[in-house]
Amino acid sequence: MTQYTELVVLVAVLVLLYGVYLSWTATRLDRLHVRLDAARVALDAQLVRRSAATLELARSGLLDVATAVILATAARSSQIAAEDEREYVESALTRDLRAAFDDPEELDQLRGTPEGADLVQELAAAMRRVQLARRFHNESVRAVRQIRGYRRVRYFRLAGRAPDKATFEIDDEPPAVFAR
Q: Give a yes or no: residue 110 inside a domain.
A: yes
Q: Tell me phi and psi for residue 161, to 5 degrees.
A: -105, 10
Judge whether 152 and 22 are in contact, CB under 8 Å. Answer: yes
pLDDT at 89: 97
Residue 80 lies in domain = 24-179
Q: Give a yes or no: residue 11 inside a domain.
A: no
Q: Give just the sign of the alpha carbon dihedral 102, 103, 104, 107.
A: negative
Q: How far is it, in rounded angstroms, from Cα 15 to Cα 60?
A: 67
Q: Give a yes or no: residue 18 inside a domain.
A: no
Average pLDDT of every residue of the chain: 94
Query: How many domains are contained in the chain?
Result: 1
**C-alpha closest to that of 43 among 126, 142, 130:** 130
pLDDT at 161: 86
pLDDT digits (tens, 9 = 90+) for 39-93: 999 999 999 999 999 999 999 999 999 999 999 999 999 999 999 999 999 999 9
Q: How far is it, in rounded angstroms, from Cα 163 to Cα 157?
A: 12
Q: Give a yes or no: residue 12 inside a domain.
A: no
Q: Give a yes or no: residue 172 inside a domain.
A: yes
Q: Give a yes or no: residue 19 inside a domain.
A: no
Q: How far is it, in rounded angstroms, from Cα 130 to Cα 150?
A: 31
Q: Give a yes or no: residue 115 inside a domain.
A: yes
Q: Give a yes or no: residue 15 inside a domain.
A: no
Q: How many H helices and E strands in the chain? A: 6, 0
